[in-house]
Amino acid sequence: MSSLLKPAVFVACLLPFGGLVFGAAGNSLGPDPAEAIMHASGEWALRLLLLALAVSPVRELLGWRWPLSLRRMLGLYAFFYATLHLVTFSHFYLGWSGAILLEELAERPYIAAGSLAWLLMLPLAVTSTRAMQRKLGRNWRKLHRAVYVAGVFACLHLAWQVRSDLGEPLAYGILLFLLLLWRLRVYSPRRFDVMRRRA
């Protein structure tokens, strides 16, 4: 695969952020720029998270190895947009108030779901380097399986906010469900083999 692939994907993942920056600078994000930034950053976080999860199935189904070189980048960009989403909400809607945050968490379950998704992604981003992978060994893989749980909470975060048109949350949810089925299909036989050997 061309050596230009990773730089091209890097730039492509950065484009939505660039669009938000230019939109904010040019006052073209609509009547509520904060809401526009929060909405776009949240959606891109979920899209990139699902893309990162789809790397292994694509590799198995199509026999392509090159997507593996993009998985970490996609995951880190998903965390970047999720953090932008969280910072925008904390600044414009909470004013960095812990009291207001606790009130929102109690009254709006979608905020709790989104917060849990971000908290699960945080250690995955911190341990995404090869050095951490070597340091953690087998525990690294166990830790990074939490990305699927983060995906579930992220989908719930989106679905709980929608009041009428459930098409988009449903599409994301179906895709995540299929990815979870693939992971269970791959993981279960391995676990069965390990248990059989121990017996």
State the pLDDT at residue 187: 62
- 173 contacts: CB under 8 Å, gap ≥ 6: 155, 159
E-state strands within the chain: none
| pLDDT tens digits in sequence order for the chain, 199 residues long | 557 889 999 999 999 999 999 999 999 999 999 999 999 999 999 999 999 999 989 888 888 888 888 999 999 999 999 999 999 999 999 999 999 999 998 889 999 999 999 999 999 999 998 899 899 888 898 899 899 999 999 999 999 887 777 788 899 999 999 999 988 876 655 554 443 454 4
Please choose, from the candidates 108, 57, 88, 77, the residue with its C-alpha nearest in 3D space to the C-alpha of residue 10: 77
The total number of residues written for the chain in this structure: 199
Helices 146-159, 167-198: crossing angle, 10 deg rounding: 160
Q: How far is CA 86 from CA 21, 96, 99, 196, in A?
A: 16, 11, 16, 45
**Which tokens in the block code for residue 74?**
């996609």
Domain span at residue 135 reads 5-198
- The total of structural domains in the chain comes to 1
State the pLDDT at residue 63: 82
State the pLDDT at residue 67: 85
State the pLDDT at residue 194: 44
**pTM here?**
0.89
State the pLDDT at residue 99: 93
Say if residues 55 and 98 touch (Cβ distance below 8 Å): no
State the pLDDT at residue 76: 96
State the pLDDT at residue 189: 52
